[in-house]
Structure 1
């Protein structure tokens, strides 16, 4: 047995150049096949208002008595939207998924640790307020709240140079003011008091909508043909005069 092992170690191996060329051809064909597999579309989700609700712990009137928070950090309590985890699994099966929040980095990280437990590493991107564009304007609802915009063109760094493969999902239509039309949909904002909320649930309108999008040729055509949720801000919007000022200001810069 020892002699056999020694013979195997000392045995020289010769290579036929034709075999090597065939291997290179096979490898090239394998790469070509991989390149033909279409890349999944990118789904970019908001955080607060879409996947969860955050409450200031000292604002006692807004803290529900019937439910404990899913996590807490600093001065905040965080409540996951019903069916959040199942919804994220659903999305990961069909899309590349990113999170883009207009909150600060430490808010984003602490919240993701809760709602994305076991799935955080799957995210294509996790962006916070630093990746948003500060419009210099305030929201109409809260005069002290800045309007941050999410510009699709910034996702080019991820290899998504064209908006035809990206869908933003948010609860604030003004955040997409600078983007091409039909590249986002807007759900109603989630509040922890909505105990029977099923927006993210199995077989919900949203899941059926995204199922259709996953197989669609491109995002804008699908969104245009299948209106969903809150309307985007267009010249027909009741507050267009205000929002158009934001667009003009930023395009001048």
Structure 2
């Protein structure tokens, strides 16, 4: 299975932090067919097309990590089956590393308080910087949910949500885009919101 590597961090490489659900996989308790790839708890899991080639390219050219807002146990199960044996991950973080906080913008829009819909998990990259000593300028986070990256928009690359479409091409396009960034000294200064336009 993939493992958290203890080798020295390669400062010449960007760190790419990957989300799981709807980014690399689609997990559901009610699958629409029998073509799912593996199971994680009660869920049938579909790998996003081109995931294997995408992960192989990242391992060759970047430092790679996983950070999901799903439960830590679920994240461990998915990573063990999604990533190749001995894949060098810098870290694997789940919900326990996220920050659970109120969404004040949504609260203002609705005008009423609902503890079940107005709180969200967010990923603060300063935790990575503090833990690993990696500058924010050298980190990218790939996610399908902008709110989870709200404190680090300058580091975020947003992908389309994956719902199991076998014809999905997002990771193939993303591979080319990430390779184009690997020599950038400061990824935070780049406009990344429209990255997909280069590959339409």
In structure 1, the residue matched to 2:146 is: 173
In structure 1, the residue matched to 2:111 is: none
**Does residue 186 of structure 1 match 2:152?**
no
The normalised TM-score by structure 1 is 0.64
CA distance in 2, matches of 1:73, 1:126: 16
Aligned residues: CA RMSD: 2.4
- Please give the secondary structure, in 1, of the residue aligned with 2:171: coil
Contact 2:160 2:170 in 1 (8 A): no
CA distance in 2, matches of 1:226, 1:174: 14
The normalised TM-score by structure 2 is 0.80
Larger relative contact order (Cα-Cα within 8 Å, sequence gap ≥ 6) = 2
CA distance in 2, matches of 1:70, 1:119: 20
**Does residue 126 of structure 1 match 2:100?**
no
- Show the 5 A alignment for 1:36-55: 38-55=11-28
Displacement after TM superposition at 1:95 (Å): 0.6
Displacement after TM superposition at 1:91 (Å): 0.7
Identify which range, 145-154 or 105-114, moves more after superposition: 145-154
**Does residue 159 of structure 1 match 2:133?**
yes
Displacement after TM superposition at 1:39 (Å): 2.6
CA distance in 2, matches of 1:184, 1:229: 13
How many residue pairs get aligned? The number is 178
- CA change 1:83–1:101 in 2 (3 A) is same
In structure 2, the residue matched to 1:116 is: 83
Displacement after TM superposition at 1:117 (Å): 2.7
Unaligned runs of 5+ in 2: 1-9, 107-114
CA distance in 2, matches of 1:96, 1:225: 19
- CA change 1:139–1:171 in 2 (3 A) is farther
CA distance in 2, matches of 1:131, 1:174: 16
Displacement after TM superposition at 1:73 (Å): 3.1
CA distance in 1, matches of 2:195, 2:81: 28
Displacement after TM superposition at 1:176 (Å): 1.2
Contact 1:71 1:77 in 2 (8 A): yes
- CA change 1:101–1:139 in 2 (3 A) is farther
- Please give the secondary structure, in 1, of the residue aligned with 2:39: strand
- CA change 1:78–1:165 in 2 (3 A) is same
- Please give the secondary structure, in 2, of the residue aligned with 1:106: helix
Which one has the bigger strand percentage?
A: 2
Which one has the bigger helix percentage?
A: 1
CA distance in 1, matches of 2:28, 2:105: 19
